[in-house]
Amino acid sequence: MRDVCMSPIQASIVLMLAKQDETFESIASQMMLPIKYVIDMTRPLLQDRPGLRRLLAIKVDRQQGTAVKVKLTPTSVLCLNRSFVSSKKRVTYESIWVDPPVVAEKINESRDWEIRAAIVRVMKRDKSCTVEEIVRRTVEMVKTFVPAPRDIKRAIEYLIESDYIERSLDDSSTMNYVA
Q: What does the pLDDT profile of the chain (179 residues) look like in tens digits?
A: 568 788 888 888 888 988 888 888 999 899 888 888 888 888 888 877 766 667 787 876 555 444 455 678 888 888 888 877 777 788 777 776 655 666 778 888 899 999 999 999 999 999 999 999 999 999 999 988 899 999 999 999 999 999 999 998 888 889 999 87
3-92 CATH choice from 1.20.1260.10, 3.40.50.300, 3.30.230.130, 3.30.1220.10: 3.30.230.130
The per-residue pLDDT for 123 is 92
The per-residue pLDDT for 64 is 46
The per-residue pLDDT for 101 is 67
The per-residue pLDDT for 8 is 85
Cα 84 to Cα 8, 18, 36, 47, 93, distances in angstroms: 20, 13, 25, 12, 14
pLDDT in tens, 10-37: 888 888 988 888 888 999 899 888 888 8
The per-residue pLDDT for 119 is 94
Transcribe 39-103 into DSSP letters.
HHHHGGGGS-BTTB--SEEEE--PPTT--------TTPEEEE-TT--BSSSEEE--------HHH
- What is the fold of 101-177? Arc Repressor Mutant, subunit A (1.10.10)
What are the residue boundaries of the structural domains of the chain, listed by start? 3-92, 101-177
The per-residue pLDDT for 66 is 46
The per-residue pLDDT for 134 is 93
Does the pTM exceed 0.85?
Answer: no
